[in-house]
Structure 1
Amino acid sequence: MERLFSPDGFEEVGSGPLYLQLQRRIADAIGSGRLKPGDSLPPERDMAALTGLSRVTVRKAVEGLVASGQLVQKRGSGTFVAQRVERLEQALSLLTSFTEDMARRGKSVESVWLARGLHAPAPEEVMALGLGAGDRVARLERVRRSDGVPLAIERASLSAQILPEPEGVEASLYAVLQSRGLRPVRAVQRISAANLGARDAELLGVPTGAAGLRIERIGYLPDGRVVEFTRSLYRGDAYDFAVELKLAPDAERTGP
């Protein structure tokens, strides 16, 4: 660590601004494995003292590495090397749960629960779920993790008639619904880009304002009833969503 933050070499001509030189040193140490995911960096004042650079220069270097996702800052804890995230390709043509997706890849799954309970529905839940006066809604809010890395925040709403005991969901919501004969068989999804707010970014271990994907899913039972209204936020650096496209029947007949 002392060699990484040695003052030697910062004044070389043609090496660029000092903050970029420090950024390159830290990035090279991460790339070579000298700094490993989860390793903590010294406080800014200590890095400034070791390198002989100003705290403003050190702060600018660190901010750049946080913005690029190589470092992560945790309030009250310090600055750490970010966990490496494997990009995952997710097919949009399959109606599967997060637990099923990860199991298919041989990865572990963990839920960090933020909230589970029955509530009076919000107007958007009434509209999406087709609720009536006096109906209650079950809400499930959790961070979905795989192999210890937070990948998504999932906020699901279901009629209390569909899920009267939300506290009973431990792992897969779809497994619980299937056991009750109420698993959705089709869904409509809407995907949009999002910049993560401070709370969501902290939950996902990424910088505030980082790119994310917002997915809104409405799932249906075989008889056409709505069974779930789920809004999820996925890390933009972890997911590629893929869909297979086929030529429309009319186009096949008429040709190019």
Structure 2
Amino acid sequence: MSIEDFLNPESWMENAQGPRYVQLRRRLEDSIQSGLLKANAPLPAEREIATLTGLSRVTVRRAMQDLVDRGIIVQRQGSGSFVSDGTPKVEQSLSRLTSFTEDMARRGLSSRAEWLTRGLFTPSPDEVIALALSSGEQVARLSRLRTANDKPMAIERASLPADILPNPDLVEKSLYEVLDKDGNRPERAIQKISAINLEQDDAELLSVPIGAAGLRIERTSYLANRRVVEFTRSIYRGDAYDFVAELQLAHT
């Protein structure tokens, strides 16, 4: 059976109960649960669903939004709506300085890291400037693919002064846990967030199409004495993260 036949209102709407958008939402869920629409499969456009069902675009949009909010489908800018592959949707606060491991544990998600690079290296010009390194100093680099419930979420590329992290191999799960033991956990950070389209290497690591929406985050973290302790450049899946900041009215 095709999705068009499955959405034919004569086969389900007459005996369904509840608001029309709830009826449609349940029908779409049934199409996914039955395997008619599989993970990452595209859904018909809202306009097409409205035509197939005889429902208004407002009703269709509300049903689709319910499915998006529950993580059952994902919407990709310029591409349409797709069945979720189970990748968690994370709402990340911009007001707290926490590690990826801590963030996922707080949400009840299991986190894992696939190491891409780990060791001591000669710093690049960007690292020398960002970490305020002197001539001849080395830098500890930690690059890893971060997953939540076995779904790729982000690529983290962290750089630290070698005297702060002389043995990068000590980091198994949480970098901040290792730094905390030595009294070097950062207390504040400045972040810059940019919207990007993922290039081939990063897209393949994150299991998304080339050109998919992503977020680039550059973070410079500081100790209490204002020394730079960490310079991180991360790439996040755009369909897996919402970054949230609390704003307050400025009093003049």
Q: Same fold (TM over 0.5)?
A: yes
Residue of structure 1 equivalent to 2:173: 171
SS at match of 1:189: strand
Alignment of 1:121-140 (within 5 A): 121-140=123-142
Distance 1:180 1:30, change over 3 A: farther
In the TM superposition, what is the alpha-carbon distance from 1:238 to its structure 2 partner?
Answer: 0.7
Distance 1:30 1:85, change over 3 A: farther
CA distance in 2, matches of 1:30, 1:202: 29
SS at match of 2:32: helix
Contact 1:121-1:137 at 8 Å conserved across structures: yes
Distance 1:33 1:127, change over 3 A: farther
Gaps of 5+ in 2: 6-27, 42-75
In the TM superposition, what is the alpha-carbon distance from 1:223 to its structure 2 partner?
Answer: 0.3
Contact 1:69-1:206 at 8 Å conserved across structures: no
Residue of structure 2 equivalent to 1:182: 184
CA distance in 2, matches of 1:233, 1:174: 19
- Supply the AA of the counterpart residue of 1:218: T
CA distance in 2, matches of 1:30, 1:110: 32
- Supply the AA of the counterpart residue of 1:224: R
Structure 2 residue 80 is the aligned partner of structure 1 residue 85: no
Structure 2 residue 108 is the aligned partner of structure 1 residue 112: no
CA distance in 1, matches of 2:137, 2:211: 36
CA distance in 2, matches of 1:30, 1:153: 33
SS at match of 1:201: helix
Residue of structure 2 equivalent to 1:221: 223
CA distance in 1, matches of 2:38, 2:150: 15
Distance 1:212 1:88, change over 3 A: same
Contact 1:69-1:207 at 8 Å conserved across structures: no
SS at match of 2:128: helix
- Supply the AA of the counterpart residue of 2:233: R
SS at match of 1:249: coil
Residue of structure 2 equivalent to 1:208: 210
CA distance in 2, matches of 1:116, 1:208: 26
- Supply the AA of the counterpart residue of 1:31: I
CA distance in 1, matches of 2:34, 2:145: 28
Contact 2:88-2:148 at 8 Å conserved across structures: no
- Supply the AA of the counterpart residue of 1:206: V
**TM-score of the two chains, using structure 2 as the length reference:** 0.70
Residues 170-191 of structure 1 deviation map (CA, whole Å, 9 limit, x = unaligned): 0000000001100000000000
**TM-score of the two chains, using structure 1 as the length reference:** 0.69
CA distance in 1, matches of 2:197, 2:80: 14
**RMSD of aligned alpha carbons:** 2.6
SS at match of 2:230: strand
Residue of structure 1 equivalent to 2:32: 31
Residue of structure 2 equivalent to 1:254: none
In the TM superposition, what is the alpha-carbon distance from 1:87 to its structure 2 partner?
Answer: 1.8
Distance 1:205 1:103, change over 3 A: same
Residues 43-92 of structure 1 deviation map (CA, whole Å, 9 limit, x = unaligned): xxxxxxxxxxxxxxxxxxxxx9xx5584xxxxxxxxxx862223211110
